[in-house]
Structures are given as structure tokens and as C-alpha cells.
Structure 1
């Protein structure tokens, strides 16, 4: 997904919200000639696009080289399929991510969190991202998938490369694309070897579950299997990493800092407000399945439509005082996890990981404040977060 020119600078990537407001007021639905796509900014319109899978498809057309329209490998996943295939694929891995199943992971997630904090507790300072927000969700999802512990750092590098956007990179778009294809190819090779191992020696993990699953009486294709595993790995860590990091940033702006959200009830509401105020995923794209209309605009079949849920979550018609972080905001019908059939499969897990990480920080640290530093945005056209977030704390 290409970066709009308006978000090409470091400052705009760290604070895209004034541009969103301008677009909602002046061009709530517009066609970008340079990016060859429609942009949608208002809450009602974004929600309509996300919920209408018949008119706004998630399927991606393939090039002659077998790539999708983003330049990536043509792996089949729930994200780029429509019903009924989407529903069939989602059922394969739906159970492990339901609230009841996720709840059983809480003690283990707590143990993992404590291990990472134990490693830095005597230092008085840490990088929230490198020391906790990255390794925690990577470890959790890697264990669920069945990835050996020694390989998890490599998986993080692959996922970071695959979601990197050319707009925020210091190298050319072509170089970024080549690096992404290389990372995807390496990941596919890795998973292919692991799949062969699990076919001979099944275990209690998602790899074994996916490769032995039957949909309509048949096992999944190689592309579907690889797509499943890649999607679970990447989506299973990038959202939570940015959610934890953005939460620490947001809480630091409150008059009483972390004191405002120490108790469980306050923290739960505050996390929902982080999801609204600084959504880890800022935009998703769809393809018009037929000639249709968006507002007063005629959209042709095959046109790409980018739904800016990061903008929708700041729409004053939906949220009072939308540009203020209100930790106890309720109700809070944000679109951070999407809407409709593609609502984020891992939403419950992401919330649990964030609650565990943040509550543990607050329990073990008496004070915590963000260090003065020049923040750098993540290199992605659709993610919102920073590359490093150093903090100082006392116990």
C-alpha cells in the first residue's frame, strides 16, 4: 500500500491526524491519481466499506509473475479471500483465538512478561519496544504456531521487512519490494520444511492443526497453508507491539501519568482508547467488485479503495472531542480491529497481551516516564507506531 504524499515526512507519519481532519472536512472520499486508488476518511463510509464484502472485495488480482497487487507473493489467506472461502478458512483457526481459549493463555503470558521485565528491572531504564513490546507477542504467537524458540528473532526480522512501506524508507521503493520478496521467499522455504516435519510428526500446535485440517473434504493447498502461517506470524505480533508502545506514549501525556490507569478497570478502558486514538493499523484496502458508488463518486470495478480507519476513529460525528485522549471514554466503538467478516482474528489475544504487559509494568514500577528522544515512525504505510521508545523507571 503506497504512502500518500501528505504522509511522506517523519512529522506527518508521527502525527497524521491533522491531515485526516482536513480530508474528512474537504475531501472525505477522493481519488488519488498518483496512487491510483480511492481514499475514504469518514467513520460511516469506512465502516460501510469494511462491512460490505460483496461490493468491496478482499481478493487481490495476480500479475503474470504470480504476485498480488501490493507486489507481494500470492499466498492465499483469510485477508485476501471473500466468502464463502474466507469463512471456510477462518473456521480452521478460529477456536484457538476465541475468548475462552485465549483466557487459558493468561498465566503463561504473565510468566513470559515477568521474564522480560526481570531482565531489565535493575537497570532503571528500558526500550519498551526492544525489551518487551516486540519479544512478548512474538514469543506467544511463535509458541502457538510451533516455531522453535531459536528461530523467533529471524521471524521478527521477516515480518518487519514484509510490512515495511516505501514511503517511510530511506531506500527506493524497488529496493524495498525486492527485500520484501526475499523475506517472503525465505519464510516460505522455512515453513515448507517445518510443514514436512509436522506431517511426519504432528504436535499440539497450529502448524499441525492447519496442515491436517480439511475444508469441504480436502486439505488446504500449499499456498493456503503457507499463507495461514505467514499471516498468523505477522499479524500476531505487529499489532500488539504497536498497541503496547502506543499505550505507553498515550499514558505519558496524562496529568497523573500511569497513576491514572493503574487499576484493572481503568486500564481496560484506556487500552480501548489507545486503540481508537493511535490505532496500530491505520488503513486497509479493498477492491471494488462491481461498479458502485461511494457517496457521490462512481467507483469502477477493479478500483482499489483504501479505508482509513485511523481517520474514522477521529471522526467528530462519531466521537466527542475526538482529538483528545480520554482514558475512560465509553462507549468507544472504534474500528481499530476492523469491522465485518474480517474483524481481527487475534483481537482478544492482542488485548490480553497488552493488559498483561502494561499492568505488569505498573505493578513492578513505582514511576515510569518516557525519555526525551527524537521518535522515528515505523517504516510502514499502514501501521502506526515508533521504532524505539526508551523509558526510565523506579521500583
Structure 2
């Protein structure tokens, strides 16, 4: 553990320290107010729409707000709901792969990893499929703001445009659902509201924004990282071909080996000791998930990819009160996508050229990953 001047926070890199930090209620997830205090007044005013939206995300809240908001989402993201989506997700995977098969090549990101989770989360929210490009564009504008290695005025402006456009779109959808509710997630949130679990307008907009953003961004990176890691480790590709039922453990290994989420940040709500180090109130604690997932004290041969690894309690989805709500859905989408690629294109290989990584300190994935199917 050490203090990083570049990140202005205490970096936790060992598995046990990161695990303990996830479970420590003295470490706050309310990051937006602290971030805002660091900005010049002119930028803070311009970023107002973004910070207001993020401030009501359940992942950036503490109890009691966190308990209330998560309780509403728990009713929608149930194991039964996830399992009921299996046939639909499989059909979408097959449809996307059918579209690229005749060409003999595809970009794993553009043709599969991007559209699949966006379509799935859009359908869960009852949104038209033809709007998925808008949803993805707005999400990309926000990604450039969250976790960017170097923030620029252009990124700020893009984030404001993205959030503003998304909220305007959602207001229209919410107004329509109030008149004609359905079986979708937005209708469920409105029904819960009518039963007394009140959400103010900003909380409703923010919760829908979080679901749209979080419901696909991590899964996109997981699918891309999985295909890339297997192509980089041909022995593991062959092991999975021989034992296709191991796709479940293979996805867990990718989550550990090449985590789509590399870090999370907490703020000390009081003077606290973490990993033997006293951290004053208000200072940041950076939970380095990617490092914790490679801790040799927790994982034998941590730098070796093993799709058959048995003990694999990685921290990619967090732990404790903030464990990722969408983890079962993301896992299922990745398992079905990876299984279909292996089954249909057993001789898959990398196309020429270098795949382009996303430039982000928090999210790890690819902008593009061209492959040959034959």
C-alpha cells in the first residue's frame, strides 16, 4: 500500500486489503461531491448536469440512500429474471454471428461485444432496438469522463451532452410508461414508486442512466477480453474446445486474469486504518482490483491463465453491500457469447494488425478486435 501523487489516493493492491476495503462502511462511495470540490467554479457549473446525475447512482451512494435504491433494483435483477433471458440472449448471439459468418471475419467488439449487451439492456427497459446506437453513443461520452487518464474540456463537454441527451430521452420514455405501463424495468420502477418506494425525478433518471451504462459497458469489455485472452493463450483455447462445458469457469478466469474493471475508489469518511496505514478523513482509497486478482497469496500461479481454475474468488464485481447487481446477467451474456464463438468458429484467429485498447484508468477493454473466422 502506498500513496500515489498521480492519483491523489492510497493504493490498495493486495487481495485481503481490497476485500476488507470493500466491506468497510467507513470508506464512503460518495465521490461526486468530493470531485466537485476539486474543480474550478466555472467547470463545476458546466458539469452540473453530469454530477447531479452521478450523485444519485446507487454505486456512488451510502446508506440509507444506497439501501433504498438497491432494494428497488433488487426486485428487477433477480436470478429468475436472468435465467429467463437465456433463450433470448442465445438467439441474439446467433443472430449477430449469422450476420458476420459469410464474410469470414468480424470485429469482436463492433459486431458482437458492443451490440449484444446494449440490445439486451435496451429490451429489459422496453426501449426500441433501433435506438441502441443512441444509447451506446451517450454511454461512450460518459466513459470518456469516468476514468479517463487525462481529462480535457472536450471530454467535459461530451459528458454533458451525453447525460443531457440521455435524460431528455428518458423523460419521454418515463412519461409514456406512466400512461401505458408494461413489463419492462422502467415500468417496474414506476410501480414501486406508486407503492410508496418514492424516487424523486433525478433519482429515477439517474437509476435508469446507471442501468443503461452499467448494463453493457462491463459486459462488452468482458467478452472482448475473453476472446483476446484465449487467442493469446492457444492452449487454453484448445482446453475449452475439448471441454466446452468449462465455459463457466473460463469466464470467471477472464474476470480474474484480465478484469474489465481495474479499480474502484472510496473516500475515508473518518480517520481510518487500512492495511496497517492510518488514512485521514477525506482522503481517497483506490481499490486496485486488477492487482488484487493477481495476488499470489490468494491465487496460485496468478499470472497463468487457467480456464479450469477451481478456486477463483476474484473481486471484479466487488464485494459486500456494493456487489454488482448485474453480475449474473453479465456472466450469462459472456458465457453464451463465448460458447457460441468456440462452437461455430473453432479455428478463430487474430487478424493482422494490433488490437486497440480503450484508454481508461478504470475500465479495461478494446476499442476494436479484428479476427478471422475460418
TM-score, reference length from structure 2:
0.91
Matched, 1:329 2:300: no
1:146-161 to structure 2, matched below 5 A, reads: 146-161=126-141
1:290-301 to structure 2, matched below 5 A, reads: 290-301=270-281
Runs of 4+ in 1 over 6 A off after TM superposition: none
**Alignment partners' CA distance in 2, 1:194 and 1:33:** 44
Q: 1:331 to 1:84 in 2, by over 3 A?
A: same
Give the superposition deviation at 1:215: 9.0
| Aligned twin of 1:246 | 225
| Aligned twin of 1:39 | 11
Q: 1:86 to 1:72 in 2, by over 3 A?
A: closer
Give the superposition deviation at 1:379: 2.9
Classify the secondary structure of the residue corresponding to 2:373.
strand
Matched, 1:289 2:269: yes
| Aligned twin of 1:12 | none
| Aligned twin of 1:57 | 28
Q: Which runs of 5+ in 2 are unaligned?
A: none
| Aligned twin of 2:345 | 365
**Alignment partners' CA distance in 1, 2:334 and 2:88:** 14
Give the conservation status (yes or no) of the 8 Å contact 1:88–1:215: no
Q: 1:72 to 1:179 in 2, by over 3 A?
A: farther
C-alpha distance after superposition, 1:177-209 (max 9, x if no partner): 221122111111111121111111111111111
Q: 1:33 to 1:254 in 2, by over 3 A?
A: closer
Give the conservation status (yes or no) of the 8 Å contact 1:269–1:329: yes
**Alignment partners' CA distance in 2, 1:268 and 1:283:** 24
TM-score, reference length from structure 1:
0.86
Classify the secondary structure of the residue corresponding to 2:216.
helix
Matched, 1:143 2:123: yes
Q: Which runs of 5+ in 1 are unaligned?
A: 1-28
Matched, 1:204 2:183: yes
Classify the secondary structure of the residue corresponding to 1:307.
strand
Give the superposition deviation at 1:292: 0.7
Matched, 1:95 2:75: yes
Matched, 1:117 2:107: no
Classify the secondary structure of the residue corresponding to 2:372.
strand
Give the superposition deviation at 1:75: 4.0
Classify the secondary structure of the residue corresponding to 1:219.
coil
Give the conservation status (yes or no) of the 8 Å contact 2:53–2:202: no
Give the superposition deviation at 1:347: 0.7
C-alpha distance after superposition, 1:253-298 (max 9, x if no partner): 2344533213343211111100000000000111111111123322
Matched, 1:312 2:292: yes
Higher helix share: 2
Give the conservation status (yes or no) of the 8 Å contact 2:94–2:340: yes
Give the superposition deviation at 1:216: 8.8
